[in-house]
């Protein structure tokens, strides 16, 4: 029983870790996209 609970906790922690990783990656992609778009707008204004 204790072994199963321990395993379950590890799986939950791994799941959380992967979730955070995916979430941060998505946020980074959004920020990079946004940054590129604002950069493009600025260069358009300069021309």
Q: How far apart are CA 6 and CA 11, in angstroms?
A: 9
Alpha helices in 1-47 (DSSP H): 2-46
pLDDT digits (tens, 9 = 90+) for 3-46: 889 999 999 999 999 989 999 999 999 999 998 888 888 887 77
Q: How far apart are CA 17 and CA 29, in angstroms?
A: 18
Q: Where exactly are the structural domains of the chain?
A: 1-26
Supply the pLDDT for residue 23. Answer: 92
pTM check: above 0.75:
no
Supply the pLDDT for residue 25. Answer: 94
């Amino acid at each position: 029983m204790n072994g199963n609970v321990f395993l379950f906790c590890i799986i939950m922690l791994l799941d959380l870790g992967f979730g955070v990783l995916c979430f941060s990656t998505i946020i980074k992609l959004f920020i990079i996209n946004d940054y590129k778009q604002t950069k493009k707008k600025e260069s358009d204004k300069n021309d």
